[in-house]
Structure 1
Amino acid sequence: METPIVGHMILILYVCCTVRAVEPFLNGRDNHDALSMEQSTGGETDEQRLYYHLMGNYDKSVRPVKEASTTVPVMLRITLTHIFDLDERNQVLTTMIWLNQEWRDELLTWDPADYGGLATLIIPSQNLWLPDIVLYNNADNYNKGYMQTRVMVYNDGKVYWPPPTKMRSTCKVDVRYFPFDTQQCLMKFGSGSYDGFQMDVQMFNGTGELADLKHYVKNGEWELQSITAERTVHYYDSGYPAHPFPHVTFKIIVRRKALYYVYNVIFPSVMMSILTLLVFVLPPESGEKIALGISVLLAFSVSMLQIAEKLPETSESVPLIGIYLMTVTAMASLSVMMTVTVITIDWRRPEKQHIPDWIKRLVLGQIAHVFGMYTDFNSCHRKDEEANEKVEPNFNARSDRNQWRQVARVMDRCLFWSFGMATLLVTVVLLVILPLIASGSGASFPVENTL
Structure 2
Amino acid sequence: MSLAGYLTMFWDDQRLDWSQDATYNTSIPAIYSNEENIWRPALIIENSVSDISIVSDANVLMKIQSVGSVIWTPSGIYITHCETDVTYYPFDTQSCDVIITTWGYTSIEIALYVAQEAVRLEYYKENGEWKYQGFSAYTTSNTREGSSTPEITFTLTFKRRPVFHVLNSLIPMVLLAFLSSMVFKLPPDSGERIGYSLTVLLAYAVYLTIISDNMPSSSSSTSVLSKYAYLTIISDNMPSSSSSTSVLNKYACE
Normalising by structure 2, we get a TM-score of 0.89
In the alignment, residue 136 of structure 1 is paired with which amino acid? E
CA distance in 2, matches of 1:236, 1:127: 29
Aligned residue in 2 for 1:111 = 19
Match of residue 229 from structure 1? 137
* 1:203 to 1:224, Cα distance in 2 relative to 1, 3 A: same
Q: Distance in 2 between matches of 1:330 and 1:287?
A: 20
1:122 to 20, 25, 32: 32
- Equivalences, count: 251
CA offset digits 1:356-385 (Å, max 9, x no partner): xxxxxxxxxxxxxxxxxxxxxxxxxxxxxx
The residue number in structure 1 matching 2:164 is 260
1:151 is aligned to 62
2:69 aligned partner, one-letter code: K
Deviation at 1:193, TM superposition (A): 0.7
Instruction: String of CA shifts for 1:97-153, please: whole Å, max 9, x gaps.
Output: 211111001111112885262212222233211111110111012358433201111
Counterparts in 2 of 1:14-53, with a 5 A limit?
none
Are 2:43 and 2:54, in contact at CA under 8 Å, matched by a contact in 1?
Answer: no
Partner of 1:94: 2
Change (3 A) 1:95 1:267: same
Structure ranking higher on relative contact order (CA contacts 8 Å, 6+ apart): 2
Q: Contact 1:101–1:161 at 8 Å: present in 2 too?
A: yes
- TM-aligned CA deviation for residue 187 of structure 1: 0.8
Deviation at 1:95, TM superposition (A): 0.5
Q: From the two aligned structures, give the one with the greater strand fraction.
A: 2
How many Å separate the matches in 2 of 1:95 and 1:218?
13
Query: What one-letter code is carried by the residue in structure 2 that aligns with 1:340?
Result: S
Report Cα offsets for 1:41-93 as digits up to 9, x if no partner. Answer: xxxxxxxxxxxxxxxxxxxxxxxxxxxxxxxxxxxxxxxxxxxxxxxxxxxx1
Over the aligned positions, Cα root-mean-square deviation in angstroms equals 2.4
Q: Residue in 2 aligned with 1:299?
A: 203
CA change 1:278–1:313 in 2 (3 A) is: same
CA distance, structure 2, for counterparts of residue 142 and residue 299 of structure 1:
44
Q: Are the equivalent residues in 2 in contact too, given 1:175–1:317 (CA < 8 A)?
A: yes
Which segments of 5 or more consecutive residues in structure 2 lack a partner in the other structure?
none
Structure index of larger Rg = 1
**Distance across 2 between alignment mates of 1:210 and 1:151:** 20
C-alpha distance in 2 between matches for 1:337 and 1:116: 91
- Percent identical among aligned pairs is 26
Structure 1: unaligned runs, 5 residues or longer: 1-92, 353-451
| Structure 1 position 244, deviation (Å) | 2.3
- Asked whether 1:311 is paired with 2:215, we answer yes
Give the Å deviation of 1:276: 0.7
Say which structure is richer in helix: 1
Equivalent residue in structure 1 for 2:89, among 173, 178, 185: 178
Matching residue's letter, 2:133: Q
Q: Secondary structure at the match of 2:112?
A: strand
Q: Residues 294 and 200 of structure 1: is their aligned pair in 2 closer, same or farther, counting only changes over 3 Å?
A: same
1:135 lines up with 2:39 in the alignment: no
**Structure 1 length-normalised TM:** 0.52
The 2-side partners of 1:236 and 1:291 are apart by 63
Q: Using the alignment, how far apart are the partners of 1:297 and 1:228 within structure 2?
A: 45
Query: Whole-Å Cα distance in 2 between the matches of residues 334 and 126 of structure 1?
Result: 72
- Asked if 1:167 corresponds to 2:71, the answer is no
- Structure 1 CA distance for aligned equivalents of residues 119 and 215 of structure 2: 29
Q: In structure 2, do the counterparts of structure 1 residues 188 and 119 end up closer, same or farther at CA, with 3 Å as the change threshold? A: same
